[in-house]
Structure 1
Amino acid sequence: MACHLLGQVIFYLSGLTCTDENFINKAGAQRLASELGIALVAPDTSPRGLNVEGESDNWDFGLSAGFYLNAKVEKWKNWRMYEYVVEELPALIQRSFPNLDLGNASIMGHSMGGHGALTIALKNPGMFKSISAFAPICNPTQVPWGHKAFGGYLGDDQSEWAQYDATELLKTYSGVSIPILMDTGTDDPFLEKQLTPWVLEKVAQEKQYPLTSRMQTGYNHSYFFIATFMADHIQFHAKALGL
């Protein structure tokens, strides 16, 4: 569908090692989104072209591993993907496609991007109508990926870390309830040590927060998993967007 005919928006945040192209090429989201009149926005996962020493040394830190935060460590000062998604990118979209209604938007993501979708929405009540995530990192302050990223980007002061942890944010959340849909595969190799969806589920249950968390039998962490349930997620957002 031509962009001038679209109104509602879904942001999709990708995971570790990805660029903006993974979702576009593998998720199979375009057909249904087009039928519903929804624009899809898929940003990159980190800055590019800065040639920071060590930026390519690890697959889970540096390039393609921005973790949707604003770095405080000087070396990584340009890693400000939180600010990019919340401020810079919406402003660019509004200038380029003024017909798109950013006041009627939702957000979703995968793995690191699921973490990003959850934290960005919870830190900005009212910005998004709904949140969904495939295999998100639900409690990064307590798992190895989070320790590595937060320690590297934010420094050793762990009091700075909780603001980018969905579980910690939900514990103290008092804004408008934004419905959440989460899917995680039972055969995901990162389930036990990195994703820990049950931790977020427990907090949501205690707060009576509208979280639907589904364990999908036999699925792993791949884009085959994402593509299988993508239509469910788009329909979930479409309902929240009033379609």
Structure 2
Amino acid sequence: MDINVYLPASYDAGKIHATPVLIYLAGLTCSPANGAEKAFFQPYADKYGFAVVYPDTSPRGAGIDGEDENWDFGTGAGFYCDATTEKYKDHYRMYSYINEELPVLLAEKFAGLDFDTVSLTGHSMGGYGALAIYLKNAGKYKSVSAFAPISNPSNCPWGEKCFGGYLGDDRAAWLEYDPTVLIKKYDGPVAPILIHQGLADAFHYRDNQLQPENFLKASEESKFKGKVSVNLVEKFDHSYFFIASFAKEHAEHHAKYLGLVGPSL
């Protein structure tokens, strides 16, 4: 597994825990290169002074029979959960990797990164991962946003395939990672959640994979009532052109909650 890290111009390795971190979680089939090369967060990272971490989306080369047979399961499709099925439980532990392992690994390499001041964003599967990890760890992350997230994965084909393969047939276990379920249980600090969804996205209007409306509805029965913004934008699809077009809004959102934009600015 590779990791891409963008350090802003203001980064100083000599300043211990000085630079806040935005973790960008990518979608199905992606590697750490996709977001780093196409999402265009770097100019805003320089402007506001946060680092951007681009993790991988699954283990690579685990040698599990069948892990490379489908584009939407296995390699490139770790689904940000900790697998419990016998076949995948030893390697496919992406939830723990992002939430526990990765910050420790990076802190050893980059002393100037502040892993007590971290926010999450992501696209598609990564948008689901960002929302789920944020909601499962009340107060740990300063903010969260998502581009076209798989918002209700226990209720869509991608989620049913991945949860079934990684977590087994017990649907109760699936709900422990479903943002639409988790948001109702959340009991911690509340920062507004920002979501953008393209209306020309076939995974949204044709395939019913994303379902941001379910997440928005659930938020009205939670501490996030009135705090979730789902921006439906005409003519945008599921591509990285869509992400790059709204990276500015998401960067500004996170800069505020990472403490990089004050009232006087």
TM-score, length of structure 2 as denominator length: 0.89
Q: Which residue of 2 aligns with 1:158?
A: 171
Structure 1: how far apart are the matches of 2:191 and 2:179? 13
Q: Which residue of 2 aligns with 1:22?
A: 34
Q: Which residue of 1 aligns with 2:104?
A: 91
- 1:136 positional shift: 0.1
- Do the aligned partners of 2:27 and 2:57 also contact (CA within 8 Å) in 1? yes
Map residues 1-243 of structure 1 onto 2, 5 A cutoff: 1=9, 3-4=11-12, 7-77=19-89, 78-192=91-205, 193-207=208-222, 209=224, 210-243=227-260
SS at match of 1:106: strand
Structure 1: how far apart are the matches of 2:246 and 2:10? 25
Please list every run of at least 4 consecutive aligned residues from structure 1 whose deviation after the TM superposition is greater than 3 angstroms. none
1:88-123, CA deviations, whole angstroms, 9 ceiling, x for partnerless residues? Answer: 101112211122111111100000000000000100
- 1:4 positional shift: 2.2
Structure 1: how far apart are the matches of 2:168 and 2:162? 9
- 1:39 positional shift: 0.3
Q: Count residues in correspondence.
A: 243
- 1:183 positional shift: 0.3
- Do the aligned partners of 2:158 and 2:209 also contact (CA within 8 Å) in 1? yes
- Do the aligned partners of 1:76 and 1:153 also contact (CA within 8 Å) in 2? yes
TM-score, length of structure 1 as denominator length: 0.97
- Do the aligned partners of 2:23 and 2:53 also contact (CA within 8 Å) in 1? yes
Write 1 or 2 for the structure with the bigger share of helix: 1
Structure 1: how far apart are the matches of 2:223 and 2:178? 19
- Do the aligned partners of 2:10 and 2:49 also contact (CA within 8 Å) in 1? no
- 1:188 positional shift: 0.5
Structure 1: how far apart are the matches of 2:173 and 2:194? 27
Give the share of equivalent positions with the same residue, in percent. Answer: 49
- 1:128 positional shift: 0.9
SS at match of 1:94: helix
Q: How large is the Cα RMSD of the aligned pairs?
A: 1.2
Structure 2: how far apart are the matches of 1:23 and 1:98? 23
- 1:208 positional shift: 5.3
SS at match of 1:194: coil
Structure 2: how far apart are the matches of 1:127 and 1:76? 27
SS at match of 1:11: strand
